[in-house]
Structure 1
Amino acid sequence: MIPSPRSLAVDLLDRIDRTGAFAEPLLDACLRRHALANAADRHLLTSLVYGTLRMRGHLDWIIERLYKGKFASMQDGIKNILRTALYQFLFLERIPDFALVNEAVELTRNRYPGREHLVNALLRNAVRRGRNHDFPYPDMGKNPEEHISVVCSHPLWLVRRWSRMYGPERTLSLCRANNQVPPVTLRVNTLKSSRPLLKALLEEEGFSVTESHFSPDGLQLNGPSDDLRSSSAGRQGLFLLQDEASQLIARLVSPEPGEEILDLCCGVGVKTTHLAALMKNGGRVLAVDLYPGKLDALNRLAAKMGITMVETLQADASTKWGELLQGTFDRVLVDAPCSGLGTLRRNPEIKWRLKPQDPSSHGRLQAGIMDRAAALLRRGGRLVYSTCTILPEENELLIGNFLSRHGEFSIRSSPGASSEASTLIGEDGFFRTAPDTSGMDGFFAAILVKH
């Protein structure tokens, strides 16, 4: 018997809480493993998982006011049953309220015998109050930070930090944008196709796509993406999924065919393969990462995309290594590990895991990687530092401290040949995007030149 989308959603949320895994790979594996009845059920499962993660703080605030006991002591599995049911009641309109309550009660009876009465009472109380329940939210005028935290479902410490940086109105705009479903954006593999050809091919297969605004390699999908990877274009390696802001980072590096490029913290190779494509598969990209599993995934991706000039190396990019390579690379990309706060639309689980002190600890790691990158770059070369976060301790402050240690570097405010991103570079020379201002993930980048 195939489990229901609601049962599977609770399973996934439990596993995300228990293991610290990310939702996307777990959900993809679940959709492959379980032959759900139809596209509507697949969509419901996706909506329940991501919606519950996005609105978790909001949902918990309501549950705490319905529950007479200590919410923190409630079993995590019961919390997720309540969260998914309450999310569906408040934000989706697919099944009758009584059916929603009954399924949550039955799920609880099977997993936590004896606790179904609690779930039944809480959810019936919520239904009785209606979707416009009478709990008074914190007042935006009197306490804007608490209002934004509760209504827009972000941790209070993060709302306070953004409010100090941007003010309450911009913080409200940013948090609202973080709760939106992000667009599905593709990057064309220019070694095998072109944007017009890929667009035409996808349209022949029944997909609706439009050209992205900033990235000349990007296409945005309009409509369902269920069969995208199994499409003819997907099987041939003509594209890969990549947010538009992320697509602009390799263009800030602006590599030329024949050059020696170093990609530090390359991960599974999304930006690495873009560098190779911009170089027309000529020259060398040395891709370095700490985790061999990611390098294996990079090698598979490169082979699928027809790339032969990428070499991989397992190393800790923050430590002293590569003495024989000092001063040899024309360009270095540091795609630094970071808090990921610019990707909350895609990875909402991050905001419930991150602690206030975490960005500072990332900053220390990032600084070590930058010091190593500086030694490996040749004079006259370009070093691009990028993150997918919007906190200054991982971005502007880090670059300021780097420049104070390395007087041989200066900021270059123009991307050069890659002018598509020029409008996203501020007067201080830094590249920035954010979901509420550009419609893209939140990215930061600095272009540095070694003299």
Structure 2
Amino acid sequence: MEPDMTEERKKQKTPRGAAVEILNRIDQQGAHAEPLLDVFLSGTEIRNPQDRGLLTELVYGTLRMRGRLDWIIARHYRGDFSTLEIPVRNILRTGIYQLFFTDRIPAFAAVNEAVAVAKKGCPAAAGLVNAILRNVLRKKEQIAWPEMAKDPGKAIAVLHSHPRWLVDRWLDRYGIDETIAACQVNNTIPPLAVRVNGLKTSREKAVAALAAEGITAQTARFSQDGIILTTPAAGLRETAAFRDGLIRVQDEASQLVARLCAPQPGERVLDLCAGAGGKTLHLAALMKNRGEIIAIDLHLDKLRLLAAEAGRLGVTIVETHPGNATGTPAAFRGAFDRVLLDAPCSGLGTLRRNPEIRWRIAPADLEKYSQIQRRLLRSAALSVKPGGRLAYTTCAVTPEENENVVADFLAGHPAFTRISPEGIPPELIDADGFFRTFPHRHGTDGFFGALFIRNI
């Protein structure tokens, strides 16, 4: 018997309904957008390519522009905005996002679909959603925005959708023009960078392999192992180049961390906080699969992903150990030529890629991260042999997590000297000798790195 297509359609989620569901989980459970989207896009609930594209845009676009969207809602809702339930807020946010930031969706469709999502998920609020969205639509050109001349911090925070505390910090550090530039870039879609696996191919051959499958790419500006895809590549993971382990998706600045460490074939390397192994596996490629890498992470599921990726990329010298990086086994003390600590951090250098972070991190969190980073760096130092190198990196752009941590470490560890990295392009080394990148200056994620040598 033929399946009931009406019932089949009912079972399938709409992109707007799925977007609200994802945004609710981000707000209520502290989840991250990318893995949630991957679950939806890898399934069969949303099959149409246009719907899949709309889902991605609604999730990331709403997260990026949330500050501006909330300003609009607060001016059209007669009650206290903070009392609105999270699902209602996210229905309104996605609806208003479509009204202001998409040009291919008719306004009536955006309003009607938002009301339909409300009727299904929170029916008591459907009338409110309808009233607010129609009111916004009528008064779209009459919205009063904060004035730059009166309060630059407030104006930038609202118009460019960043938390006020972060805008104020950047204004003090960089001034108005660069703060606006940083915020604007954080609201753009980041380029898709991949690292070429030097164990299997060269950049030129990888570019040619992708071109043969209809994906154009160009060499990266800073990473000698990187290429930037210049055409949409939704099916990248289905290409032969990916399946055969020729490439791995990795931001260009992230690729430079292994170059900062500069491991040599035959050395013994320790990667603390290895995660899913993007940098670990790059270290192995630079070592030409000769030597030994010990990869430690607290999360066993991430180490399983690392092991699977090692298989795909042909890496054979990595040994994984689940555990807390603040503890140093006796066998590790003074035993490694290179130690990498890519420390847990606020992630404020990755706001293009992870826009939810900006609404989650508070000023007090920076000090919490700083204390963790200081403990980890002290522990990492114990494993470096005399003459060995220690690399400290973050994807943060705050002094509390970067140069302040380095200064504290050096004050308590006279056996270590900070040295200028040799494997990093000179334009990415600042006046103090730190490796540093910014999205608005370099087109990469924001990264920081310091390199030390143990003298005795």
1:445 corresponds to 2:452? no
Match of 2:75, SS state, is helix
- Output the CA distance in 2 between the equivalents of 1:399 and 1:56: 34
CA distance in 1, matches of 2:356, 2:231: 24
2:419 aligns with 412
- Matching residue of 1:432: 436
Q: Secondary structure at the match of 2:344?
A: coil
Separation (CA, whole Å) in 2 of partners of 1:126 and 1:313: 54
Summarize deviations over 1:308-350 as a string: whole Å, max 9, x none: 100111221123x212221111111100000000000000001
Match of 1:137 among 139, 142, 145: 145
Match of 1:292 among 300, 303, 308: 300
In structure 1, the residue matched to 2:75 is 65
Partners of 2:124 and 2:323 in 1: CA distance: 52
Shift of 1:30: 0.3
Shift of 1:403: 0.5
- Residue of structure 1 in register with 2:314 after alignment: 306
Stretches of structure 1 lacking an aligned partner (at least 5 in a row): none
Under a length normalisation based on structure 1, what TM-score does the superposition of the two structures give?
A: 0.97
**Counterparts of 1:238-253 in structure 2 under 5 Å?**
238-253=246-261
Partner secondary structure for residue 341 of structure 2:
strand
Q: Provide the C-alpha distance between the structure 2 equivalents of 1:119 and 1:54, rounded to a whole number of angstroms.
A: 21
Aligned residue in 1 for 2:60? 50
Note if contact 1:252-1:421 (Cα within 8 Å) is conserved in structure 2: no
Q: Could you say which residue in structure 2 is the equivalent of 1:3?
A: 13
Q: What is residue 395 of structure 1 aligned with on the other side? A: 402
What are the residue-to-residue correspondences of 1:362-373 with 2, within 5 Å? Answer: 362-373=369-380
Q: Residue 107 of structure 1 corresponds to which residue in structure 2?
A: 117
Per-residue CA deviation, residues 268-312 of structure 1 (Å, 9 max, x unaligned), is 000000000000000001111111111111111111111110011
Q: CA deviation at 1:35?
A: 5.1
After superposition, the Cα gap between the structure-2 partners of 1:274 and 1:152, relative to the gap in structure 1 and judged at 3 Å, is: same
Pick one of 232, 236, 241 that aligns with 1:228. Answer: 236
Match of 1:330 in 2: 337
Give the letter aligned to residue 236 of structure 2: L
Aligned to 2:169: 161
Q: 1:185 aligns with which of 193, 202, 221?
A: 193
Assess if the C-alpha contact under 8 Å between 2:162 and 2:183 holds in 1. Answer: yes
Retained in 1: the 8 A contact 2:40–2:46? no
Provide the C-alpha distance between the structure 2 equivalents of 1:94 and 1:382, rounded to a whole number of angstroms.
Answer: 53
Equivalent residue for 2:427? 423
The residue matched to 2:210 in structure 1 has which SS? helix
Aligned to 2:282: 274
Q: State how far apart, in whole Å, the 2-side matches of 1:56 and 1:365 are.
A: 30
Aligned partners of 1:392 and 1:327: how far apart in 2? 29
- CA deviation digits over 1:164-217, x for unaligned, max 9? 222222111111111110000000111111111110010000001111011111
Distance 2:280 2:58 in 1: 33
**Separation in 2 of the partners of 1:19 and 1:287?**
29
Q: Does the CA-based 8 Å contact 1:367-1:398 persist in structure 2?
A: yes
TM superposition score normalised by structure 2: 0.96
Q: CA deviation at 1:141?
A: 2.0
Code of the aligned partner of 1:422 = P
1:135 is displaced (CA, Å) by: 2.3
Where structure 2 has 5 or more consecutive residues not aligned to the other structure, the ranges are 1-8
- Please say which of residues 25-34 and 158-167 is displaced more in the overlay: 158-167
What does 1:73-92 align with in structure 2 at a 5 Å threshold?
Answer: 73-92=83-102
- 1:395-419 Cα distance to aligned partner (Å, 9 max, x none): 0111011110111111111x22x2x
Q: Alignment identity in percent?
A: 49
Secondary structure of 2:111 counterpart = helix
> What is the CA–CA distance in structure 1 between the aligned matches of 2:432 and 2:24, rounded to whole Å?
44
2:388 to 381, 391, 395: 381
Measured in 2, the distance between the counterparts of 1:326 and 1:16 equals 40
Q: 3-state DSSP class of the match of 1:66?
A: coil
The corresponding residue for 1:125 is: 135
Aligned partner of residue 100 in structure 1, secondary structure = helix
Q: In the alignment, is the contact (CA less than 8 A) between 1:276 and 1:307 conserved in 2?
A: yes
Contact 2:219–2:228 (CA<8 Å) still a contact in 1?
yes
How many residue pairs get matched?
Answer: 445
Find the aligned partners of 1:434 and 1:120 in 2 and give their Cα distance: 41
Shift of 1:427: 1.8
How far did residue 37 of structure 1 move? 4.4
Kept after mapping to 1: 8 A contact 2:268/2:293: yes
Task: Give the SS at the match of 2:289.
Answer: coil
C-alpha distance in 2 between matches for 1:449 and 1:252 = 12
Instruction: Give, in whole Å, the separation in 2 of the partners of 1:353 and 1:317.
Output: 25
RMSD between aligned residues: 1.1
1:384 and 1:447 in contact (8 A); partners too: yes
Aligned counterpart, 2:5: none
Asked whether the equivalents of residues 318 and 366 of structure 1 are also in contact (C-alpha less than 8 Å), the reply is no
Q: Higher mean Cα deviation, 158-167 or 423-432? A: 158-167
CA distance in 1, matches of 2:142, 2:417: 56
